Amino acid sequence: MRHGVSGGGVNGPAGSALVDLLGPEIPATVAAPYFRSLIDPAVGVVRRVRQRDDWPHDEPKTIMYRAELMPTTAFSSGGYKSIPAEAGRSTTHETAAASALFEAVERYCLSIYRIDDLTVADYDELRTAGVAALDPASLNAPDGADTADRLRSTRLAWTTARSLLHGANRMVPAQLVHLPYQFPEGEPVLRDPLTTGCAAGTATGPAVLRGLLEVIERDATMIRHYRGISPQRLEPAIFGSGELDGLVRACERYRLDVELFDYSLDIPVPVIAARVRDRSGATPAMTFGSKAAFDAAEAAVGALLEAVTFRGPIRARSKTARRVALGLLPEPGRVASGSERAFLWIQPEMANSLHYLDHAELGTALPSAHRPTPSPEDVAALVRRVGEEGGDILICDVTTQDIADMGAVAVKVLVPGLQPMHLSEPDRRWTRRLLTYGRLDREPVSAAELNPLPHPFL
């Protein structure tokens, strides 16, 4: 595995990299046919890519493809033991299939690492040796000096990242990068390991931008939920998107209510969330989606597609979901996985639990950062603001050699100070940003003031 970014203009200071974040890049739909050699049920990276078309007769028929990734444990110190399936959603078959394939490439690259290729040391050792490294104690809100000292003196596995802001290499804990990650004995969980910030494509710069937008999206959804900050509700017509209008009509045809919300915070890019509700008392009662994009209409389409497309697969597991949820409804804070989270939030009992959404006021304009075609100046402002709030923007090149030989890249974007998403409530970690957002005195709220319900996003 190569560590550190090796192309796409991310090696220099931020100013020299910003134009590259906007492209050029071969579109995924054009590039996908050249990656068909990755698909082989015996020796491929991907076992198969197929359309999912077994939708219930009373659900909107959205377009989704699934790419089945082959197990990777033979090539990795972590890796997948079974076959995970990555979904691609769109309003066209070509885009959905290409999206699924590149999602599988992301997962594949994230899963491949060798512990022997990583640096195992504690933060204090690295600092004493003059090696620039991300302070593990800076990832979460202060929890006492003893905790910080303990983290800094605990041995971790490290890999190399490059700062988008400063152009310098910086060591980061490998558990923030690779997934599945096999925790060495004694290594603490710094954050719930997830794919957030990973993106693949045919050019490094645009992949970095996509990864960064996902990090921003997760930051916004977590802060609004756990701080209970009401967004503005936006009528679909305000987006002026025929694609979005078609999705909304498809939902209404099956008596599903669509709500769109402006989740944007203080970072200049629109974040849109969607809630799809079935008020008949059937399951799923609610599903959610979210997306960040400079074009607010693109973000709305992505968020709604995520919420709608999730309904069919989860309905197929409704009996299992009900059985699991009955054990979680009395104590929702026990949710410990993505599936448990999904099973809980589709239940009718949860339908009126999100007061900050139910009391959202109707907005009359798109987010102020809406840019159908962002300029280099727009991206510069975004990077600058993320740097101010997040401390740094760190890029890990996780491209495996076989993927690089085909002309593709995969990156993982880390922003230490932004609030990460988690799927396991026991592994949730609060950043200072989440605890202080919107407070003029910058004093953190207490844990008792946070929303006790698990967030509804996946």
Collapse the DSSP code of 359 into the 3-class scheme (helix H, G, I; strand E, B; otherwise coil) and give the result: coil
Q: Alpha-carbon distance 56 to 438, whole Å? A: 43
Residue 280's pLDDT is 86
**CA nearest 160: which of 137, 148, 176?**
176
Ranges of residues in the chain with a pLDDT under 70 are 1-19, 144-146
Element (H, E) at 201: strand 198-201
CA-to-CA separations, 380 to 72, 203, 209, 241, in angstroms, rounded = 38, 19, 11, 27
Q: Alpha-carbon distance 446 to 207, whole Å? A: 37
Residue 146's pLDDT is 64
Angle between the N-to-C axes of helices 14-21 and 376-390, in degrees from 0 to 180, rounded to the nearest 10? 120
CA-to-CA separations, 180 to 66, 81, 84, in angstroms, rounded = 19, 9, 11
| Paired residues of 291 in beta bridges | 272
Cβ–Cβ < 8 Å for 410, 199? yes
The residue type at 226: Y
**CA nearest 200: which of 46, 369, 357?**
46
H and E: helices and strands count for the chain:
15, 13
- Tokens 């996003």 belong to which residue? 457
Cβ–Cβ < 8 Å for 29, 98? yes
- Tokens 């989704």 belong to which residue? 64
Q: Alpha-carbon distance 149 to 165, whole Å? A: 27
- Tokens 């990734």 belong to which residue? 69
CA-to-CA separations, 383 to 25, 268, 338, 376, 415, in angstroms, rounded = 20, 9, 30, 10, 11
Residue 282's pLDDT is 83
Residue 145's pLDDT is 61
Element (H, E) at 90: strand 85-90
Cβ–Cβ < 8 Å for 107, 168? no
Give the phi and the psi of residue 195 in degrees, each rounded to 5. -85, 0
Residue 17's pLDDT is 44
DSSP letter assigned to residue 428: -
The whole-model pTM stands at 0.94
Residues 6+ apart with CB under 8 A from 281: 348
CA-to-CA separations, 62 to 234, 310, 313, 456, in angstroms, rounded = 22, 10, 12, 21
